[in-house]
Amino acid sequence: MIQRIDSNFLINTIGASQTKFYSGRIKKWDFRFLSLAKHIASWSKDPSTQVGAVIADSENRVVSVGYNGFPRGVHDTETRLNDREQKYPLTIHAEINAILFAQKGLKDTILYTWPFPPCDKCAGFIAQSGLQNVVSIERERDTDLILRWKEELKRGEQVFEESQVNLRIYTREVWQEL
């Protein structure tokens, strides 16, 4: 089930039998973990895209974090980081890093991602890992980054829908109202 939470307090539910209403305010722990994911994203050396991920358990404890970057031991030179032909094949996405670094099973955990929902490849890893819930922020519209990743992000939502992973997306307006 995919939920988009907007400033009109409405959750637009895709793939479910009805539209549900929500309190309109971002949940306290969602805000905290999305804020942490935003901070973790700043650790990425990628000059064009900084993505952060946090996995938290049902007691609101951090299980793992990740950011996008090259594998351990691979040199992240300025040349590689600025050349997409070299960078993309080498980069491990934040969501996958968080899953790989988790030291325990991911049952009953939630993945938080910043600054947009997971792409199709990450969605597949998320579903395969056993994660059932993902919380993110709505992707910005018409930025160069989003235009480049538009299809992958759309397919990511499709993977979640088919694999029954719940995705809760807060609109930018809800986030900015804080």
Per the domain annotation, does 99 fall within a domain?
Answer: yes
- Of 64, 67, 5, 10, nearest to 30 by C-alpha is 5
Estimate to the nearest angstrom the gap between the alpha carbon of 30 and the chain centroid: 12
For the cut 50, the answer to whether the pLDDT of residue 23 exceeds it is no
Show the domain range for 86. Answer: 27-176
Per the domain annotation, does 11 fall within a domain?
Answer: no
Number of domains in the chain: 1
Catalytic site residues? Answer: 95
Residue 127's CATH number = 3.40.140.10
CA distance 127 to 16: 18
- Residue-level pLDDT at 114: 95
| Alpha helices by DSSP H, the chain | 28-41, 78-82, 84-90, 94-101, 120-129, 144-163, 172-176
For the cut 90, the answer to whether the pLDDT of residue 16 exceeds it is no
Per the domain annotation, does 139 fall within a domain?
Answer: yes
Q: Angle at Cα 119 formed by Cα 118 and Cα 123, nearest 5°?
A: 70
Residues 24-58 have pLDDT tens digits of 567 899 999 999 999 999 999 999 999 999 999 99
Per the domain annotation, does 72 fall within a domain?
Answer: yes
| Paired strand residues for 169 | 4, 136
Per the domain annotation, does 14 fall within a domain?
Answer: no
- Residue-level pLDDT at 142: 66
Per the domain annotation, does 79 fall within a domain?
Answer: yes
Per the domain annotation, does 21 fall within a domain?
Answer: no
Per the domain annotation, does 116 fall within a domain?
Answer: yes
